[in-house]
Amino acid sequence: MTQIGTETVQDTMNGSGDDKPMIIAQDVEKWYDNNFHVLRGVSMTVTKGEVLVVMGPSGSGKSTFIRTFNALESYQKGKIFVDGILLSHDVKNIETIRQEVGMVFQQFNLFPHLSVLQNVMLAPIWVRRWPKARAEEVALQLLERVGILEQAKKFPGQLSGGQQQRVAIARALAMQPKIMLFDEPTSALDPEMVREVLDVMRSLADSGMTMVVVTHEVGFAREVADRVVLMADGLLVEEATPEVFFNSPTEERTKKFLSQIL
Amino acid sequence: MTTTFPPSSSAPPASNSGGLMAWLRKNLFNNWLNGILTVAISAMLVWVGMSFLEWAFTVAQWSVIPANWQLYFVGRYPNDQYWRLWAIFGLVAILSGLSWGILARNTAQLFTKTALICLGLLGVFGVIMPAPLTSRLLFLGAVILLAAAAWGGRQLGHSVAGIGRWISFAWIASFFVVMWLLAGGFGLESVSTGNWGGLLLTLFISVVSILLCFPMGVLLALGRQSSLPVVRLLSVLYIEIIRGVPLIAILFIGQNMIPLFLPQGMRPDNVYRAILGLTLFSAAYLAENVRGGLQAIPRGQMEAAHALGLNPALTTMLIILPQALKISIPAIVGQFISLFQDTTLLSIVSILELLGISRSILANPSFIGRYWEVYLFIGVIYWLFCYLMSIGSRRIEASLNTEH
Ligand SMILES: Nc1ncnc2c1ncn2[C@@H]1O[C@H](COP(=O)(O)OP(=O)(O)O)[C@@H](O)[C@H]1O
Ligand SMILES: [Mg+2]
């Protein structure tokens, strides 16, 4: 493993254009408290505007991996740079990095005591310190974009799963992040609601957002992804364009996984 | 006191048809054992009820209540300063009414059947209260103020944005006004706490202790969950030590030991020492109630807040605590009710709150042996306030419910 200094990475990151790397993971290793070796040396780069789909069997470490990108999980070895900033173990301004990285969870995790509109306005007001009027204007725009405008005054508990997940996307987008992480955003949804969420994600990808998506939705991966990676047992097994990944994968592990889900 | 069992889940939902006889048969006489129990228990209830009524109307000498009504309600508060207490009463009635109206601004009806019954009961109480006519009229006036303020609060709630914040400010400000009116100073004749007594003192001690122990309990609960080991250890130590000591011991320490440590001029008077003891005691229990709420919040809430860039303090203030407190409302109000009842222990350390003043009345030779009348009377008063608190708790819970 070659140690790359912060400066070198900084230089590459300053490169503009579509190939500017937004996330760099270098030989990331992580152990859970019970000494379970969950990430066993994962390296990966996501460039600006790219949509990366992460697939893999349950328990392979996908969630853990993408949660290291906004420091919801720590890691013990290797390096992760997000938008040029090293996520070290003692990073001071963890909140500053989290502002640049939006995350959408499998269980939506909306704040049930706040209305839909308040959910979306909360972080811009308290973290970005926007005036209320501006936060509300942006929030309403986003709610319109995800098709929930009429429900703005309702509470999350009064919405369907698909609607809640779209609110969660709007909530993350309200911070105007540079990167969006999705951890199985449609896995907790009834089948008839999967589509409305995927449509929102597709249009987000079309708008040029850098996205890392953990999902089992093969259709979405085929159409939207720039690259698909397979994660198994804490390692990245295969990395390819969707074309190659689904039609002619090289690794046995990938073939086995695809035979199980297709 | 029913003798029924829950219907088995396979049974169809009970229908309303069939009338009284069907209901009786289904609920009270559904087999011969239940039939016998029903008859036996009814007979006992009737007997107890008759005996009570007989006692209440023939044996009991209720004159002990009206003869001492001032002592019961305000203790030895000077007669010519009563207007200050009425002013407090009116102020609290107005603020309560406004808050009620504002909380209920989005409900279909302000004066629901329950609300009307409560107001009616207050009115009836005002009419039959064992007190001079002026007091009764003033009391009725306050009830009318309450209802009018509720109506006004509802209108304000619809027309003024952010009214909730104003009413909170008003409550905080009113606390200082109430203290001023009660204790005097700043142009008013001062009345020392030694002259406060009866229900007035019970309510004063309860309200101040509740206001103080609530924030303290919340901080202890957060401390117990803190990531800083020292804070966590201190919180756990405090909570576990206090919960291991009976309240009466804490009150005795407050009354008898604190004066030994402090110089003459600095000793807080015994009412404030009692408040200190009740506060320190209840805060530990409250902390455990709030901790229960904190633990019930799913991890995902904290993660979502962190992912948005909220720092730990904001996450606690805006996301975790509001939800945890909402869950804990019944337990917290339960703790407040206990605290209210625990004020009776203060009569043992010679504070003349409602129970203490009753004991001193019973010690008066002219009222010797009137235990039943006196204790029944104050028992009803205690029950009334506890019941009001539990109604209030259910009201607040309902108004905070966001899942329909
Ligand atoms: N907090 C934790 N402590 C210990 N083990 C964990 C913890 N979280 C997850 N794991 C384990 O780590 C493995 C990977 O989990 P996860 O990243 O959620 O996988 P995936 O998202 O691919 O299903 C699983 O075997 C899981 O049991
Ligand atoms: Mg997962």
* CATH code, domain carrying B290: 1.10.3720.10
Task: Give, as residue ranges, everything with CB less than 5 Å from ion ligand 2.
Answer: A 63
List pLDDT tens digits, range B325-367: 999 999 999 999 999 999 999 998 889 999 999 999 999 899 9
- In a shared domain, residues B214 and B360: yes
- Per-residue b or e along B360-370, where b marks 16 or more CB atoms closer than 10 Å to that residue's CB: bbbeeeebeeb
Q: Which of B148, B170, B191 is the last residue of a domain?
A: B191
Please give the residue range of the domain that contains residue B129. 64-191
The best mutation among A31, A36, A74, A261 to test binding of ligand 1, ranked by most ligand atoms within 8 Å of the C-beta, falls on A36
A235: left (phi > 0), else alpha (psi -120 to 50), else beta? beta
Residue B57 lies in a domain: no
The pTM (predicted TM-score) of the whole model is 0.86
- In a shared domain, residues B98 and B145: yes
Q: In chain A, whose CA is at the least distance from the CA of B298?
A: A109
Residue B380 lies in a domain: no
- In a shared domain, residues B243 and B325: yes
Amino acid at B58: T
- Which of B308, B315, B401, B402 should we substitute to test contact with A (largest number of A Cβ atoms within 10 Å)? B308
Tell me the CA end-to-end span of chain A in Å, nearest whole number.
36
Task: Determine what percent of chain B is predicted with pLDDT higher than 70.
Answer: 94
Q: How many domains does chain B have?
A: 2
- At B310, the pLDDT band (50, 70, 90 cuts) reads very high
Residue B348 lies in a domain: yes
Q: Does residue A1 have a pLDDT over 80? A: no
Which residues are paired to A51 by β-bridges? A211
- In a shared domain, residues B284 and B299: yes
The C-alpha atoms of residue B73 and residue B75 are separated, in whole angstroms, by 6
Residue B230 lies in a domain: yes
Q: Which of B167, B191, B215 is the last residue of a domain?
A: B191
Which residues are paired to A183 by β-bridges? A214
Residue B392 lies in a domain: no
- In a shared domain, residues B201 and B180: no
- Tokens describing residue B137: 């009229």
- In a shared domain, residues B239 and B148: no
Within 222-241 of B, beta carbons closer than 8 Å to A belong to none
* Closest CA to ligand 1's atom 5: A32
* Closest CA to ligand 1's atom 6: A32
- In a shared domain, residues B184 and B201: no
- In a shared domain, residues B100 and B130: yes
Residue B211 lies in a domain: yes
List pLDDT tens digits, range B64-109: 888 888 899 999 999 899 999 999 999 999 999 999 898 888 788 8
Residue B353 lies in a domain: yes
Give the minimum alpha-carbon distance from B231 to chain A in angstroms, rounded to a whole number: 22
- In a shared domain, residues B167 and B77: yes
In terms of C-beta density within 10 A (0-12 exposed, 13-18 middle, 19 or more buried), how is residue A95 classed? middle
- In a shared domain, residues B164 and B219: no
- In a shared domain, residues B100 and B240: no
CB contact under 8 A, A155 and B307: no
CB contact under 8 A, B402 and A155: yes
List pLDDT tens digits, range A120-144: 999 999 999 999 999 999 999 999 9
Average pLDDT over every residue of B380-392: 91
